[in-house]
Amino acid sequence: MTERIVLAYSGGLDTSVAIGWIGEATGAEVIAVAVDVGQGGESLETIRQRALGCGAVEAYVADARDEFANEYAMPTLKANALYQGHYPLVSAISRPVIVKHLVKAAREFGATTVAHGCTGKGNDQVRFEVGIQTLGPDLKCIAPVRDLALTRDKAIAFAEEKGLPIETTKKNPYSIDQNVWGRAVETGYLEDIWNAPTKDIYDYTATPEFPPAPDEVTISFQAGVPVAIDGVKVTPLQAIQELNRRAGAQGVGRIDVVEDRLVGIKSREIYEAPGAMALITAHKHLEDITIEREQARFKATVGQRWSELVYDGQWFSPLKRSLDAFIEDTQQYVSGDIRMVLHGGQAIVNGRRSETSLYDFDLATYDTGDTFDQSMARGFIELWGMSSKVASGRDLRVAGE
């Protein structure tokens, strides 16, 4: 029986050429796998037909938008995950769901190898291959660009020679990856980190310098998940899409950062994540009134480590699974409403309410009705500072000897 290879297929030049390129290099049949995670553009049927037209023996397509929003974006939101304090893991969280479907397709079509279009320089090769090793430890992995010397100029020449049904003459100077959680842009002009991004880079966000009138929005959460916007019930996918539209119109969610890649190099990245950043901001403010102080402090540490694990391709790791359990436990009381104003590139919270809030007005107020017993403060301060006081006394004594 002829060997079969499953290929993560985007419908673009490189992965379209990779179908025939892999076939010629290995003698295997290629099954193209396209997964819709909200990246927009062409329909799955159009992509499926192109894959078959480029020589794939089978084409597996999956509408995974709700799956991605529910099972990948929502855990990211609950963790308030921002890698290095900036990046909402746009690409990093899409790779595990694609991996899941790649392995599923490999089982369905009897493939022994999984192929992806990543280079040897980026993070995604790790995310794909570690995920595949975890979910399908018997499967082999190849990367045509990295392992089979498929460069862009060779891809264009191959496509023209074979008459493949794909545009080969236009070359975008940037590398772009996008899904419903956000959009990532890199390379080209941006590799000089002194260069400011040009307007043509952006697609999910309008220019924040000339915003429309302020947009006030109320987001309702239940156990850490958005369930309504301005009183209208929404699914997680609908919440992200609606805030992509409204926050994007105000220029919210533009991120320009030099980040530390897993392979050890620094890389300049431009991100657009209007819905993600608006939701993370709202979620964090709701946590501020519903999560106990020490729990919240520790959760911030957990969220940072969670972000690093996911960025580094460890979505399916035991540690990440354990951290998921902690984060999920913290979300028990994260229910309520956050009101925020979207305007001029900012999402500013100006109201919060919750039936499970830890904010006690009578304890917090300085006006009549204050129930806080201020006489307790003096003794508390004495005890709180006792260890430092004793240590300071020791230091002075030793210094005087």
Q: Is the pLDDT at 72 greater than 80, yes or no?
A: yes
What is the arithmetic mean of pLDDT over 245-266?
A: 96
Structure tokens at 29: 């049949």
Interval 297-348: pLDDT, tens: 999 999 999 999 999 999 999 999 999 999 999 999 999 999 999 999 999 9
SS3 content of the chain, % helix, strand, coil (to 5): 45, 20, 35
DSSP H or E stretch at residue 336: strand 336-343
Q: Judge whether 95 counts as a catalytic residue.
A: yes
Interval 149-163: pLDDT, tens: 777 788 788 888 888
The band of 378, judged by pLDDT with boundaries at 50, 70 and 90, is very high
Catalytic residue among 66, 175, 261, 288: 175
Interval 104-141: pLDDT, tens: 999 999 999 999 988 888 899 999 999 999 999 999 99
Q: Determine whether 398 is exposed, middle or buried from the number of CB atoms within 10 Å of its CB (0-12, 13-18, 19+).
A: exposed
Residue 334 makes CB contacts below 8 A (sequence gap 6+) with 78, 221, 223, 224, 283, 286, 287, 290, 291, 356
- Residue 9, annotated as binding a ligand: yes
- Residue 373, annotated as binding a ligand: no
**Lowest-pLDDT range, 165-169, 219-223, 280-284, 396-400?**
165-169
- Residue 192, annotated as binding a ligand: no
For residue 384, what pLDDT is reported? 95
Whole-number Å distance between alpha carbons of 236 and 163: 42
For residue 97, what pLDDT is reported? 98
Whole-number Å distance between alpha carbons of 324 and 314: 12
- Residue 186, annotated as binding a ligand: no
- Residue 83, annotated as binding a ligand: no
- Residue 16, annotated as binding a ligand: yes
Interval 168-221: pLDDT, tens: 555 666 788 999 999 999 888 899 999 999 999 999 999 999 899 999 999 999
Contact 72, 47 (CB under 8 A): no
Give helix then strand counts, H and E, for the chain: 15, 14
For residue 168, what pLDDT is reported? 57
Give the torsion through C-alpha atoms of 172, 211, 89, 62, to 10 deg.
Answer: -70
Whole-number Å distance between alpha carbons of 182 and 204: 8
DSSP H or E stretch at residue 227: strand 225-229
Catalytic residue among 91, 124, 307, 312: 124
Q: Is the pLDDT at 389 greater than 90, yes or no?
A: yes
- Residue 244, annotated as binding a ligand: no
Q: Judge whether 124 counts as a catalytic residue.
A: yes
Catalytic residue among 4, 48, 65, 95: 95
Q: To the nearest whole number, what is the mean pLDDT of the chain?
A: 93
Answer CATH for 4-171 from 3.40.640.10, 3.40.50.620, 3.40.50.300, 3.40.50.880: 3.40.50.620
Answer CATH for 176-291+334-353 from 1.10.3720.10, 3.90.1260.10, 3.30.565.10, 3.90.70.10: 3.90.1260.10
Catalytic residue among 4, 14, 50, 335: 14
Whole-number Å distance between alpha carbons of 100 and 8: 11
